Chain A
Amino acid sequence: MIRVQNLTKRFDQFTAVNNLSFDVCPGEVLGFLGPNGAGKSTTMKMITGFIEPSDGKVSVFDMHVSQDPQAVQTIMGYLPEGAPAYGEMTVIAFLQFIAKVRGLKGEQAEQRLAKVIEQVELAPVLNKPIDTLSKGFARRVGLAQAIIHDPKVLILDEPTDGLDPNQKHQVRELIKGLAKDKIVIISTHILEEVSAVCSRALIISEGQLLLDGKPDELERQSRHHNAICLQLADEYADAQQQLASIDQIETVEAVAEPEDRTFMLFPKDGQMLLPEVVRWLDDKQWEVENIHLEKGRLDDVFRQVTRAQTV
């Protein structure tokens, strides 16, 4: 278990991480969300022992990161922000260096190298100097480096940044496919990624924890939760006003996408109104082209909580 207690980091007068506390258990994939400069990377740097906290502490499976960083780092894989790597080395030489540091030898090292090279599809660039790689490939080298020893704890700072859609998918599958007893922490600006891979999300802003929950719990806080997206087949006079008159509908917004004649119906208090709306449409004998229920949108929640803070 990773236990973060009252973690604080001050750079001179500026507080980048402010009294952050949370626990992560094996099996959890935790997503860090937050605006630029929220303190996500700084928190990861403290968890991995790269920088010392100004206050508070981090322990990983009861090992204190500040007191015994090497012990913690042994069971950890870390992809730092921007995936730094030794540019003059070829991909294969770099990965061999990491494998040696990780104590992998002989046959075992060969196997692990082959495995990660396959997992992040590095075969075409193995003999290229890292300096000459495209951004996406450089990121994949960083990922390979982090997982080469099959670590119990994996910390990935924006792992899919700069990857093409196929690779994004691949990396998400890779994270989901990791053994169930691992702890994974990722940071990302891609909100679908959180719903796709994370079992839990933290929203951080200005170094403080604002929200902590499962992605679907967070989505439920969105104003789009249980909203109904309705696309009519025909033009009806005053459609928007008429829809708004349905009981328990709070507001109706016209949506330009995918076409006119589309409306978003927001229920009062996030109630489930789909059957009622369908009955109402039936009464009116309005032709419907498409109707579906919204689960809620993480970006709503994100904007809501992070804006509220800056105001």
Chain B
Amino acid sequence: MTFNMNMTTIVMQRQLHSYFATPIAYVFILMFLVLSGVFSFYLGHFYEKGQADLSAFFNFHPWLYLFFMPAIAMGLWAPERQMGTIELLMTLPIGQTNAVIGKFLAAWVFAGLALVLTFPMWLTVAYLGDPDNGVIAAGYIGSWLMAGSFLAIGSCMSVCSKNQIVAFIFTVVVCFIFMVSGVPMVLDSFAWAPQSMIDFIAGLSFLTRFDAIARGVLDLRDITYFFAMMALWLYFTQVMLQRNKAK
């Protein structure tokens, strides 16, 4: 059950290989790029704002991720259970921890690649004005960390079902809960509760944390929050794997 970098890397490589084995991965990245562009330009009024920053772009990431990340994560475990390859994977001397982390990293790298490919947005603002590159870099880091949290939730849901679609839907639902817990409308409905509880609920939200980072404030607590989310849901993934084994 000990972490082994080498095994983790082997699992990650195989999973990445399987992502790119079909054209779906490319179509997927293309859709992500197009949609993130459309959202920023049309819905975010990227030009009209007349600001040389990417806030219009980053503001839509949580909502884009709500559907894109579950789609990346659903393929981590559900098909292995469906096809029976999980029996091979779990009887090779890989170790559960390494398998869970390796698969997750593959999904996270994949999401990172899609994110990196949005660099023309950065080029555009850099061309049009004089953006604060530090804030933009923080936005990218925050966005990637948030993607990781979505994916870790997706990893856990994917281990719970043999059916990818079921895994997708459950991931969307859970991620949605973690997002809206920061929306004022939801928080208002907790007006009866003590302020500390409202703060706690707001603190659980991806939105609250991400907004802070995307504004350029790289607070250690927000970063810790995202890493803790990933660690927690990957731990749940392993608990579920172990449970399947003993069922």
Contact = CB atoms under 8 A, between A and B. Distances in A.
B93 interface: yes
Given A51-B245, A73-B93, A101-B92, A84 B87 contact: yes
B189 interface: no
Contact of A88 (B21, B91, B92): B21
A169 B97 CA distance: 40
A75 to B, nearest CB: 9
A93 interface: yes
A70 interface: yes
Contacts of B95: 70
B246 A51 contact: yes
Contact of A50 (B1, B10, B245): B245
Interface in A63-88: 70-71, 73-74, 76, 78, 80, 82, 84-88
A80 B95 CA distance: 18
A45 interface: yes
Contacts of B91: 48-50, 73, 76, 78, 80
B81 to A, nearest CB: 11
Nearest to A73: B93
A52 interface: yes
Contacts of A70: 1, 93-95
A84 B85 contact: yes
B27 interface: no
The listed residue with most A CB atoms (<10 A of its CB), out of B7, B10, B90, B247, is: B90
A85 B85 contact: yes
A175 B21 CA distance: 34
A98 interface: yes
Nearest to B242: A52
Contacts of B90: 49-50
Nearest to B7: A101
A101 B246 contact: no
Contacts of B94: 70, 101
A297 B68 CA distance: 61
Nearest to B22: A88
B84 A82 contact: yes
B45 interface: no
B191 interface: no
B13 to A, nearest CB: 8
Nearest to A47: B91
A42 B145 CA distance: 41
Contacts of A86: 14, 18, 85
A61 interface: no
A70 B93 CA distance: 5
A100 B17 contact: no
A145 B85 CA distance: 13
B219 to A, nearest CB: 39
A76 B247 CA distance: 23
A50 B87 contact: yes
B93 A74 contact: yes
A87 B83 CA distance: 9
Given A49-B91, A51-B246, 10 more contacts: A50-B90, A52-B246, A80-B84, A84-B88, A86-B18, A89-B17, A97-B10, A98-B92, A101-B10, A145-B88
Interface of B: 1, 7, 10, 14, 17-18, 21-22, 83-85, 87-88, 90-95, 245-247
19 contacts: A50-B90, A50-B91, A51-B245, A70-B1, A70-B93, A78-B88, A78-B91, A80-B84, A84-B83, A84-B88, A85-B85, A88-B22, A93-B17, A97-B10, A97-B14, A98-B92, A100-B10, A101-B94, A145-B88
